[in-house]
Amino acid sequence: MPLVVVGSVALDSVITPTQRRDNVLGGSAVYFSYAASYFTSVRLAGVVGDDWPSEHTELLKARGIDTTGLQIVPGGKTFRWQGKYLQNMNDRETLDVQLNVMNQFDPMLPETYRRCKFLFLANGSTKLQLKVLDQCPGASLVMADTMDLWIRTEPEELHTLLKRIDGLVLNDSEAKLLTGMENLVQAGHAVREMGPRFVVIKKGEHGAMFFSEHETYVLPAYPTPDVVDPTGAGDSFAGGMMGYLAEQNNFDPKTLKEAMAYGILVASFTVEDFSLERLKRISREELTKRMMEYKRMLTF
């Protein structure tokens, strides 16, 4: 089944302890789309300025991603993010954010997008996520991401959103912030009680936790020694997860767990190089191979 994603499309500048890259392809909807494209057809909605290199659009199209919903604002500048990773490659400092065209982004989804059954509301303001949701009344599985900024600045909208979506993906510190709870098992269930049928807490290099009414589980990250750039890992995780669900056209408990494992594995590739560089070099077969190793790792 086709999968719609709405979120940021960006040019990132990333500094790690040993390297740097300037103005590389990034953004939540981009990482999500590319990750999901290994499983299903993806329709991306977002906004860029006319400084956006058309080769980026071509790259997405080459993976079968529908970019009809990518608005180009004449005279506008693309959203830019600059960040620096600390020695541990987990903590990062945001050095600069230029919202640019994201400031006025008012998503109007093409008709083909509005009829989709699978919808992901990637990182963006909660108000914007609600606007998108209103345009897709027939979606059967809606998942969303959020972040500390929206938890702090749009708490009412967020609580409205949580009652209208099926699944929320957020990271450990955001789950603690949203609930005021330090124990992640308690926090996960507390978020679930705010509305969504299931909640996924991303723990970066430590994997991810899943919470539904009757299930609580944790899957570890795939242990890669080659972490080059963690940017986009969380969005790739969500893309891999929801891409698999859309491919299977199913979201029963068994499929959700398989999907979470695929999300973890796609993210493990993403971090092995800057931007989409590593994902560009893999095929579905390599994902399947790593999945076999991962399953073997968890079997005893």
What residues line the site for a second copy (CB under 8 A)?
87-89, 182-186, 189, 203, 205-207, 209, 216-221, 223-225, 227, 254, 257-258, 261, 295, 297-300
State the minimum distance, in angstroms, from the CB of residue 283 to a second copy.
22
State the minimum distance, in angstroms, from the CB of residue 146 to a second copy.
21
Beta-carbon neighbour count of residue 21 at 10 Å? 19
State the minimum distance, in angstroms, from the CB of residue 85 to a second copy.
10
Question: Which CB sits closer to a second copy, 68 or 88?
Answer: 88
What would the two tokens of residue 114 be? 């509005």
Question: Which CB sits closer to a second copy, 184 or 287?
Answer: 184
Closest CA to 290 of 263, 257, 252, 254: 263
Question: Which CB sits closer to a second copy, 51 or 205?
Answer: 205
Closest CA to 280 of 61, 135, 63, 44: 63
State the minimum distance, in angstroms, from the CB of residue 186 to a second copy.
5
Question: Which CB sits closer to a second copy, 139 or 209?
Answer: 209
H/E stretch holding 67: strand 66-73
Provide the residue type at 8 as one letter: S
State the minimum distance, in angstroms, from the CB of residue 174 to a second copy.
15
Query: H helices within the chain, ranges in order?
Result: 28-36, 54-62, 111-114, 126-134, 148-153, 155-164, 172-179, 184-192, 233-248, 253-270, 277-280, 284-297
Question: Which CB sits closer to a second copy, 51 or 172?
Answer: 172
Question: Which CB sits closer to a second copy, 99 or 190?
Answer: 190
Alpha carbon dihedral 33, 35, 38, 40, in 10-degree steps, equals: -40
State the minimum distance, in angstroms, from the CB of residue 16 to a second copy.
11
Q: Which residues contact 49 (CB under 8 A, 6 or more apart)?
A: 72, 73, 75, 76, 77, 78, 100, 101
Are 228 and 235 a contacting pair, CB within 8 Å? no
